[in-house]
């Protein structure tokens, strides 16, 4: 009879950029199995490979009530990343399954991509790249970030990093958050505002709200509130933006541009693909060597410590 495995790693790219996460598992004294399929595991794969495991180093695969019921020995899911909305947290709590994540490591990566999108849109890099690649030597005037008002929807770890980056370019920052840290905002020259007020005043609206923290949605009514010629960035959740309404606003010139890393359906093939004034990236804000290694190390360390009854992890449920 095969001995039960303590830890199943579901990520197909685990240890791709550094062997440190694997070395942590090897040194832990716990038994482990790593996804070697080269593809993302679905729930059936997790149940088949990890039916007896006590801990999961998990990606973005879903853990429904039905899936959790078929993992009777599971005691902890350690998410490589921040979002845990793919996990039925109520069912996990009911079954005594802890959920931990790595909230600090992705912040810089997401903030830097946000800044890159803002600068690229202001200087019209998507259009200029297309024109130059097509051998059309045509210059187009852009805009500076300096002096612009950046509205941040969500002032958590990522929103705060973005605030600091755009302020370094002499931009003004206003923010909407359901539970703002008023002392932090005052100390960092960030004006707190309502969501509607932010939409009306911002030259650039950037979404960084967490799932469930507030009812954030950008649809036709919200776009109508935004300043003509404003830009929209979505680095939060794909379902926070009506992509059809956004595509129409871009096509009509109501909005000047948009940058998105998350989409209502992924892989994304919707109407924004046909717009020129957009930067679209395939949900890869944290896909860089440094951040991937940091998240894998932190998730692995956290799970090992949990299973050994130690402290030193971020528990969300």
Query: Is residue 230 in some structural domain?
Result: yes
Q: Is 2 a domain residue?
A: no
Do residues 46 and 62 share a domain?
A: yes
Model confidence pLDDT, tens digit, residues 89-136: 999 999 999 999 999 999 999 999 999 999 999 999 999 999 999 999
- Give the model's pLDDT for residue 110: 97
Chain centroid to CA 127: how far?
26
Domain identity same for 94 and 115 = no
Catalytic residue among 79, 172, 201, 237, which? Answer: 237
Rounded alpha-carbon distances, angstroms, from residue 166 to 10, 27, 181, 232: 36, 42, 19, 15
Question: Does the structure show a pLDDT above 80 at 142?
Answer: yes
Question: Which CATH number belongs to the domain containing residue 134 in this structure?
Answer: 3.40.50.720
CB atoms within 10 A of CB 301: 18
Helices (H), the chain: 20-28, 43-50, 65-69, 89-94, 107-122, 125-133, 157-167, 182-187, 195-201, 220-225, 243-252, 289-307
The predicted structure's pLDDT at residue 213: 55
Q: What is the mean pLDDT of residues 235-242?
A: 96
Q: What pLDDT does residue 229 have?
A: 98
Catalytic, out of 75, 225, 283, 305: 283
In a domain, 76, yes or no: yes
Do 259 and 122 reside in the same domain of the chain?
A: yes
Q: Tell me: do 141 and 269 sit in the same domain.
A: yes
Region of poorest pLDDT, from 56-70, 202-216, 232-246? 202-216
- 8 Å CB contact between 203 and 149: yes
Among residues 126, 163, 122, 114, the alpha carbon closest in space to that of 285 is found at 114
Task: Output the CA torsion sign for 180, 316, 101, 266.
Answer: negative
91 with 170, same domain: the answer is no
Q: Enter the tokens of residue 169.
A: 């370019």
The predicted-structure confidence for 258-269, as pLDDT tens digits, reads as follows 999 999 999 999
Task: Find out whether 314 and 102 touch, Cβ atoms under 8 Å.
Answer: yes
Res 23 pLDDT > 90: yes
Instruction: Quote the tokens at residue 127.
Output: 């259009």
Same domain, yes or no: 167 and 246: yes
Mean pLDDT score, 129-147: 97
Q: What distances in angstroms separate CA 226 from CA 98, 196, 206, one per listed residue? A: 41, 9, 12
- Are 68 and 139 in a shared domain? no
Of 16, 20, 26, 266, the catalytic one is: 266
Same domain as 251, residue 129: yes
Looking at the fold, whether 74 and 200 belong to one and the same domain comes out as no
- Residue 1 domain flag: no
Decide if 237 is catalytic. yes
- Mean per-residue pLDDT for 4-27? 95
d(CA 212, CA 218): 15
Average pLDDT, the chain: 95
Parent domain of 154: 107-280
Q: Verify that 209 and 261 share a domain, yes or no.
A: yes
The answer to whether residue 208 is catalytic is: no
- Phi, psi angles (nearest 5°) of residue 292: -60, -45
Is residue 23 flagged as an active site residue?
Answer: no
Residue 177: Cβ within 10 Å count: 22
Token pair in block for residue 89 = 């947290």
Co-location of 276 and 301 in the same domain: no
274/165 same-domain check: yes
Q: In this structure, is residue 190 part of a structural domain?
A: yes
CA–CA separation, 205 and 96 (whole Å): 40
Q: Which of 194, 158, 156 is nearest to 174 (CA)?
A: 194
Q: Report the domain count for the chain.
A: 2
Q: Is residue 77 part of a domain?
A: yes
């Amino acid at each position: 009879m095969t001995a039960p495995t303590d830890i199943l790693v579901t990520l197909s790219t685990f240890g791709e950029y550094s062997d440190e996460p694997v070395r942590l598992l090897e040194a832990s004294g716990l038994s482990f199995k790593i996804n070697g399929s080269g593809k993302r595991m679905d729930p059936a794969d997790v149940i088949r490979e990890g039916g007896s495991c006590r801990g999961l180093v998990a990606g973005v695969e879903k853990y429904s009530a039905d899936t959790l019921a078929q993992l009777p020995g599971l005691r902890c899911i350690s998410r490589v990343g921040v979002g845990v909305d793919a996990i039925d947290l109520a069912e996990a709590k009911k079954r005594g399954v802890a959920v931990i994540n790595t909230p600090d490591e992705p912040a810089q990566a997401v903030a830097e991509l946000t800044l890159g999108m803002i600068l690229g849109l202001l200087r019209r890099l998507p259009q200029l790249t297309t024109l130059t690649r097509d051998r059309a030597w045509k210059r187009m005037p852009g805009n500076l970030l300096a002096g612009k008002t950046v509205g941040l929807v969500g002032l958590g770890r990522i929103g705060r990093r973005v605030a600091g980056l755009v302020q370094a370019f002499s931009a003004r920052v206003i923010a909407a958050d359901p539970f703002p840290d008023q002392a932090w905002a005052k100390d960092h020259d960030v004006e707190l505002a309502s969501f509607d007020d932010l939409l009306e005043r911002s030259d650039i609206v950037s979404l960084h709200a967490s799932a469930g923290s507030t009812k954030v949605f950008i649809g036709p009514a919200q776009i109508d509130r935004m300043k003509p010629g404003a830009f929209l960035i979505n680095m939060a959740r794909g379902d926070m933006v009506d992509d059809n309404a956004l595509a129409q606003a871009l096509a009509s010139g109501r909005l000047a541009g948009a940058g998105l890393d998350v989409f209502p359906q992924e892989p994304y093939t919707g109407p924004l693909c046909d717009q020129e004034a957009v930067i679209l990236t395939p949900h890869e804000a944290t896909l860089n060597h440094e951040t991937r290694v940091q998240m894998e190390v932190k998730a692995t360390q956290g799970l090992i410590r949990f299973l050994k009854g130690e402290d030193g992890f971020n528990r969300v449920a």
